[in-house]
Amino acid sequence: MIMRNFILTFLFLFLTSWFQAQEVPNDFLSADFHKGRRQEVRKAMPPNSVAVFFAAAVRNRANDVDYVYHQDPDFYYLTGYKEPNALLLIFSEKQKDGAGNSYDEVLYAQKRDEKAEQWNGKRLGVEGVKDQLGFERAFNAEEFLYSDIDFSQFENVLFFDFKNDFRDTNDPADLYDLIRTFKEKSNYPSDYDATKQQLYSMIKSTELQNSANVAQTLGRYLNYYQELKSDKLLVDFVEAKDDKSRIEIKEKVALQLKSNNLNSAMLEEIMSTLREVKTKEELLLLKKAVEISAIGQIEVMKAMHPNMSEMEIQGIHEFVFKKYGAEYEGYPSIVGGGNNGCILHYIENNKAKVGNELVLMDLGAEYHGYTADVTRTIPANGKFSKEQKQIYDIVYNAQEAGISASVIGATFQAPGQAASEVVAKGLVKLGIIGSPEEARKYFPHGTSHYLGLDVHDKGTYQPFKENTVITVEPGIYIPEGSDCDKKWWGIAVRIEDDILITKNGPVNLSGMAPRTTEAIEAVMEQSSPLDHFKLPALD
């Protein structure tokens, strides 16, 4: 009997743990992926340097309630660590500790704390970082405060400058304390100016024959950041008339950069280069985020009717996201009915009834850190009017031109240029504008951005490379009161798809969501599981 009870207990515990394990997603990026990314950073670092990465800040929503924590994308990309109050150091060469052990990276993680974990969830701690994330060297974050690391021994200390959006809490090793300690250990000047340092680095690294182009770029910075006009070196470089003057300024800039070993410009370049081109592992997650978002668009097309509110439409999209295990939205959801669609980043979504107008829906699921960005514009009553269809077809043709231009080696501006030409020509033909130059009034944004861990992901903006993912999203927005025939007023159309650049041409990852007026109307005729979903009325 004792043996029988033991076996039954063992089986119960085994099966319970097995079923629990099955309920936890197992398709996150692997520890090997993150390790490989750290190695790529190390390869790109200059000799005798250290790269310093901080976890994202915890941000307060109201009183004692914080926003849902979202890790800094670079930090997640390199570690897989999803908790706050942490610090990563990557060294260009092997280091030795006092015991003679060699290492080239170290993660300082927030300490295990039973009381805190009871309220806010389990922490990995040092052992979890080693076992689950594959770090050989990890410490509690508070140990960084008392570490003997000497940042002055490195020729370059690479870091992202601080946004000062972090708080000093009761935690003795929170982000505030980690950054304060880093500043002390690295002799961070109180007047450090990251923008100025970036511009100095630009001047130093530029070949003399390209100086005129750099001077033009610097001129735009000086116009935007008025405080930079007090910097004599920057002003002199912009106003220099000959190569001799520019050489002298470059030498002075080089000396200025040597005044300390802090470099807040290089990591941006390194991380942008790495994150621009997606690995196979990343594409699996990104494609899943895109597919989920496309299915959300399809289900809303089936469920849409004129009595829906913008908020209800948003809710259907986000329900689909959650149903497929997408943890978050990649950005605030945009659902604009009628004239609200003319507001590019309209997120209030509070119109009570969308009526018979067009509804612009720009939403993206975030799946395991990777976010989609898919936009469809549909008629709430299921049928495009003549004017709506005319505007829609211009945008569709513009997007087709933009997607076709999204090929390896093309400039980042190529999709936008191709789409803009189609929009300008179409608006002139309809008599909405008198000349192509006026098109910007109704198509005021670019068509493309990188996509990945951020909805506006990092990249170099150089000619397209294989396995880069971008958006192509032309639009036409004609607000009420526009200088054109009233029949066009309140029409807003944007079509946005997520495009993978491949050696065989562009691949539309979100193409399963209908894009033509005919395909949209056909899907909107289908029944929806929500057709008979009724809630009781509120008092």
| pLDDT value at 450 more than 90 | yes
> Quick check: 330 and 364 in contact, CB under 8 A?
yes
Q: Does residue 18 surpass a pLDDT of 50?
A: no
Name beta bridge partners: 337.
359
pLDDT at 26 over 90: no
| pLDDT score at 5 | 52
- 11: pLDDT confidence band, cut at 50, 70 and 90? very low
135, 169, 186: which is the final residue of a domain?
A: 186
Q: Is the dihedral of CA 442, 447, 449, 453 positive or negative?
A: positive
Residue at a domain's end among 233, 259, 285: 259
Two structure tokens written together for 107: 């993660």
Question: Domain check: are 96 and 201 in the same one?
Answer: no
| Joined tokens for residue 306 | 């004129």
Backbone angles phi, psi at 413, to 5 degrees: -80, -10
What is the rounded distance in angstroms from the CA atom of residue 389 to the CA atom of residue 225? 44
CATH code of 99's domain: 3.40.350.10
- Tell me the CATH number at 342: 3.90.230.10
Of 186, 208, 239, the residue that ends a domain is 186
pLDDT digits (tens, 9 = 90+) for 256-311: 877 789 999 999 999 999 999 999 999 999 999 999 999 999 999 999 999 999 99
Residue carrying structure tokens 């015991």: 99
Q: Please report the pLDDT score of residue 25 as a whole number.
A: 79
Q: Is the same domain home to 410 and 445? A: yes
Tell me how many domains the chain contains: 3
- Which residue did the predictor score with more confidence, 22 or 106? 106
Mean per-residue pLDDT for 522-526? Answer: 98
The pair phi, psi for residue 72, each rounded to 5°, is -60, 125
pLDDT in tens, 203-246: 888 787 778 888 888 888 888 888 888 888 888 888 888 888 88
Could you tell me if 393 and 250 lie in one domain? no
Q: Are 332 and 473 part of one and the same domain?
A: yes
Region 383-405: mean pLDDT is 98
Distance (Å, whole) CA 427 – CA 435: 9
Distance of alpha carbon 513 from alpha carbon 291, whole angstroms: 9
Residue 222: count other Cβ atoms within 10 Å of its Cβ.
Answer: 18
**pLDDT, position 8:** 45
**Claim to verify: residue 61 and residue 170 sit in the same structural domain:** yes
Q: 492 or 97, which is more confident?
A: 492
Say how far apart CA 536 and CA 539 lie, in whole Å: 9
> Is the separation of the CB atoms in 491 and 482 below 8 Å?
no
One domain for residues 212 and 311: no
| Whether the Cβ atoms of residue 157 and residue 261 lie closer than 8 Å to each other | yes
Q: Domain for residue 10, yes or no? A: no
Task: Indicate whether 25 belongs to any domain.
Answer: no
Whether residues 48 and 176 share a domain: the answer is yes
Residue 272 counted as domain residue = no
**What pLDDT is attached to residue 411?**
96
pLDDT at 196: 83
On whether residue 458 sits in a domain, the answer given is yes
Return all residues near 214 (Cβ < 8 A) that are at least 6 apart: 202, 203, 206, 237
Domain hosting residue 373, numbered range: 277-525
Contact 80, 281 (CB under 8 A): no
pLDDT in tens, 149-173: 999 999 999 999 998 888 888 888 9
Same domain as 306, residue 182: no
Residue 342 is assigned to a structural domain of this protein: yes
Same domain, 121 and 156: yes
pLDDT level of residue 503 (50, 70, 90 thresholds): very high
Q: Are residues 429 and 409 in the same domain?
A: yes
Domain membership of residue 232 (yes or no) is yes
236 and 359 both lie in a single domain: no
For the chain, the average pLDDT equals 93
Same domain, 402 and 330: yes
Residue 434 lies in a domain: yes
Assigned domain for 13 exists: no
